[in-house]
Amino acid sequence: MSEALLPDPVSVTVRAPAKINVYLGVGKVRDDGFHPLETVYQAVSLYDDVTVTAAEEWAVTLLADGDHVDGSAVPDDDTNIVVRAGKALAAHHGIERAAEIEIRKTIPVAGGMAGGSADAAATLVALDRLWNLDTSDDDLLALAADLGSDVPFALVGGTATGTGRGEVVTPVDDAGTWWWVVVFSDEGLSTPSVYGAYDLLEGGDHDYRVRPAMLDTLRHPEDNPDGLPMFLYNDLEDAAFYLRPDLQTTAEAALECGAATTLLSGSGPTMLAMATDADHAREVAGRLAGRGYTRTAVAHGPVAGAHVVAYG
């Protein structure tokens, strides 16, 4: 059978997920300013879609999907992480190319859900397809790690442990479908400021390793259906609550609204309320809305990492 040759695409759209850290253990700050981590990432069903189109000059357009997305905080010039991703990919292959990059954003900006990292991962995959580069997975992961600690995970998706500064990603079997009410915040919170508060308050002098029993619970949720909530943990939570006491109030409200437990997402300020299933998540979100927390989304995980959704 002969194969028809497809023309090169004019545009490619890639969808990349937000991440949460169902476990985030943080050690003592390293000489390079980063903190050693042991984390368990989970990709959840909030997505940014990135569309790349061949162009002479780099350009970025942002479409904000939802009133929890503050597009004004996202640069539209070469400092945007998506342009840095595109330039890094071109340099890796020794080619001179540019592209127009449109980001349709649902993941909150500076929310602790790695939205910028998702956009960078999506851009790497989209430009690889647009330019027909066939970059190996290992090379894409290395380019991703240079762009930011959370970018490799956005490529891989699912559930995975992260070590190093978060960039060394190892997939974890996760047989569950876990439901979350994502409670957005009106303002962003800068990641370095939360790590700075962590250094002052706690310093990281403790055992921050992931408990093997947590990974067993993800692998075999049927053996321990109530197990995950008791393992959820984030070392940055006290630091984020110190900088933003309103987040602790949000956590208390979510518990009063019936959440199984609550957790800061990454370095915040997004808060997560865990639910037992989709209906329970919608109930908790409804009750939170009654208490004035109207900027929420119901999401589930794990979901796939960056993947092509359309060729134009």
212 binds ligand C5P (CB under 6 A): no
Using CB under 6 A, pick the residue from 15, 35, 244, 280 that binds ligand C5P: 35
Span from 16-24, 105-113, 143-151, 224-232 in contact with ligand C5P (CB under 6 A): 143-151
34 binds ligand C5P (CB under 6 A): yes
Q: Is the peptide bond before 269 cis (omega within 30 degrees of 0)?
A: yes
191 binds ligand C5P (CB under 6 A): yes
Span from 29-37, 85-93, 201-209, 226-234 in contact with ligand C5P (CB under 6 A): 29-37
Q: How many CA atoms lie within 13 A of 235 on its CB side?
A: 26
CB closer to ligand C5P out of 84 and 97: 84
Rounded-to-integer distance, Cα 233 and Cα 265, Å? 10
C-alpha angle 277/279/284, rounded to 5°?
Answer: 95
Rounded-to-integer distance, Cα 174 and Cα 217, Å? 8
Kindly state the number of chain residues that form the binding site for ligand C5P, as judged by CB under 6 A. Answer: 12
- Cβ-proximal residues to 104 (8 Å cutoff; 6+ apart), any chain: 48, 49, 50, 51, 63, 65
- Minimum distance between the CB of residue 146 and ligand C5P, rounded to whole angstroms? 10
- Touching ligand C5P, residues 166-185 (CB under 6 A): 166
The backbone torsions φ and ψ at residue 30, rounded to the nearest 5 degrees and listed phi first, read -85, 170
195 binds ligand C5P (CB under 6 A): yes
What's the chain's Rg over C-alpha atoms? Answer: 19
Active-site annotation holds for 150: yes
Active-site annotation holds for 19: yes
- Cβ-proximal residues to 258 (8 Å cutoff; 6+ apart), any chain: 280, 283, 284, 287
- Minimum distance between the CB of residue 96 and ligand C5P, rounded to whole angstroms? 26
- The closest of 311, 303, 312, 310 to 107, measured between CA atoms, is 303
Joined tokens for residue 63: 């479409």
Using CB under 6 A, pick the residue from 18, 20, 22, 37 that binds ligand C5P: 37
85 binds ligand C5P (CB under 6 A): no
Span from 10-18, 32-40, 87-95, 227-235 in contact with ligand C5P (CB under 6 A): 32-40
CB 49 within 8 A of CB 118: no
192 binds ligand C5P (CB under 6 A): yes
84 binds ligand C5P (CB under 6 A): no
307-311 and 168-171 beta bridge pairing: unpaired
- Minimum distance between the CB of residue 88 and ligand C5P, rounded to whole angstroms? 14
Rounded-to-integer distance, Cα 102 and Cα 123, Å? 10
Q: Which amino acid is at 184?
A: F
161 binds ligand C5P (CB under 6 A): no
CB closer to ligand C5P out of 34 and 311: 34
Active-site positions read 19, 150
Which residues lie near ligand C5P (CB under 6 A)? 33-35, 37, 148-150, 165-166, 191-192, 195
